[in-house]
A = this chain, B = another copy of it.
C-alpha cells in the first residue's frame, strides 16, 4: 500500500523515489485529511475536465471562460502550445484577445502532425473572417519555431495579419549572462528608440 502510493506519485513529472517517499510519509504522518482531499480533487478533475470546444484549452465547461467572455477581443487569436502558456500570458495582463491551444508542437518523429495540433479547427476559425490577427506565441525552441512557421504558411491563404511575439533580452536580464542566440535575436529584432 505504501509502496503502491509511492509508485503512483512517481508518475508525476520530476518526482523520483525520494520525493515520492517524502510525500507519502508527510501525508500519512501529518496530513491524512489532505491525502483524502487530494484523492477527491484528482477524481473530480480527471472525470470532468475536458477540452474547450472553441480554443482546445482544458476547461470544466464545453466553452471555457475566456472564449465565453464577450468583453474580450474576439478578433485576436493568440496561438500557444499549452494551457499553462495561457495562464502565463493572462498573468501579464496586457492581452485581451482569445487563444488557441495546440497541445504540443509539430513533431513528425513522434507522430504529431497538423491533425493532432487541431490545425483544421484553426483553419476553420480563420476561414469565417472573424479573426483579424493571429499571434504566434509558440515557444522559442526549434520545435516552436518550426510549428510557428508551419502555421504562418497555412494562415497566409486567409486574410489575416500574422505576428510573432518578440524575442530578446528578458526584462531584468543582463547582457553578460544572455546566450549568443538570444543576443543575436535581440540585435536583429532591434527597434527605433523613441
Residues of A participating in the B interface, judged by any CB pair closer than 8 Å: 1-2, 4-5, 7-9, 11-14, 19, 21-29, 31-32, 34-46, 48-49, 58, 60, 82-84, 87, 103
A sample of 11 inter-chain contacts (CB < 8 A) reads: A1-B60, A7-B41, A9-B38, A12-B34, A12-B38, A25-B84, A27-B42, A27-B46, A35-B45, A39-B42, A42-B42
Contacts of A38 in B (CB 8 A): 5, 8-9, 11-12, 39, 42
Assess whether A12 is in contact with B23, with CB atoms less than 8 Å apart. yes
Assess whether A37 is in contact with B25, with CB atoms less than 8 Å apart. no
CB distance from A114 to the nearest CB of B (A): 19
Contacts of A26 in B (CB 8 A): 12-13
Identical subunits present:
2
Assess whether B46 is in contact with A39, with CB atoms less than 8 Å apart. yes
Q: How far is the CA of A12 from the CA of B26 in the complex (A)?
A: 7
Given known pairs A4-B41, A5-B41, the reply for A58 and B28 (CB within 8 Å) is yes
| Interface-central residue, A28, A34, A41, A82, by most chain B CB under 10 Å | A41
Contacts of A13 in B (CB 8 A): 22-23, 26
| Interface-central residue, A1, A32, A40, by most chain B CB under 10 Å | A1
Contacts of A1 in B (CB 8 A): 41, 44-45, 48-49, 60
Q: Closest residue of chain B to A38, judged by CB?
A: B8
Contacts of A37 in B (CB 8 A): 8, 11
